[in-house]
Amino acid sequence: MTTVRRLGRSLRQRWYVALPLAALTLAATAAVAHTIPTEYRARAMVGLLAAHSGVQGRSGRPQYGNPFLAFGAALTDTADLLTRRLDSPTAASRLRAEGATDSYAASLAADAPGPFITLTVTGVNRAQVAASLHTLLGYTAQQLTAIQARAGVSPASMIRSFVIIAPTRPATQPARKVPAVLGVAIAGLVASVLSALLAESIAAARRARRAAAMAEPGTLARA
């Protein structure tokens, strides 16, 4: 409690020291908040389905009839191959050429083992992030077809893709901006308080020296 009282007294007495630093802190905090752009992030998820021929019996009749009953390791392996292809420098270059200039990531869904790919786009322009994600979705389906066509797979035997989660609306990401703004604000506040305490300590030391100097002649006279 004594420390709190001392701090309050120092701030009241040395406000002319703390106030300018507090004003500078406010200006610096506003500058950092304005300088660091707000980031937006949008996500989508696609899945892979077995080929039409993969769910047919030898006689041509449906063996399962439902491709969602035919998930297997081969589809997961294909999804892994596709994510690696999407994360390649070549894919990034082609996507930029198509207008998807924001940073993106493609990864297997961590919380759902299977042939499910999460697509994430991050940028500083909400509309551009949404457009980039739509471009990435189309490119993903295109690359899945291209990989199989290059291997000589017939259309009826090709693995297909479908959208599980439609592109989300780009949402703000405070993880980058907020820590920087808080860091500047806290550092400035601490500097303001410490400067007031330092000024008060220097003033107290001066008062003590003056008091000692004034008391010294009287002490000599009594002796």
Structure tokens at 164: 């599980």
Q: To which residue do tokens 């980039």 refer?
A: 132
CA distances from 10 to 7, 192, 195, 196 (A): 5, 11, 10, 6
Angstrom distance (rounded) from CA 7 to CA 24: 21
pTM for this entry: 0.67
> Reduced to 3 states, what is the DSSP secondary structure of residue 110?
coil
Residues of the chain with pLDDT under 70: 1-7, 10-11, 13, 15, 53-65, 69-70, 175-176, 216-223
Burial class (CB in 10 A: 0-12, 13-18, 19+), 101: middle
152-198 pLDDT, tens per residue? 999 888 999 999 999 999 998 776 677 777 887 788 788 877 777 77
Q: Are 18 and 190 in contact (CB under 8 A)?
A: no
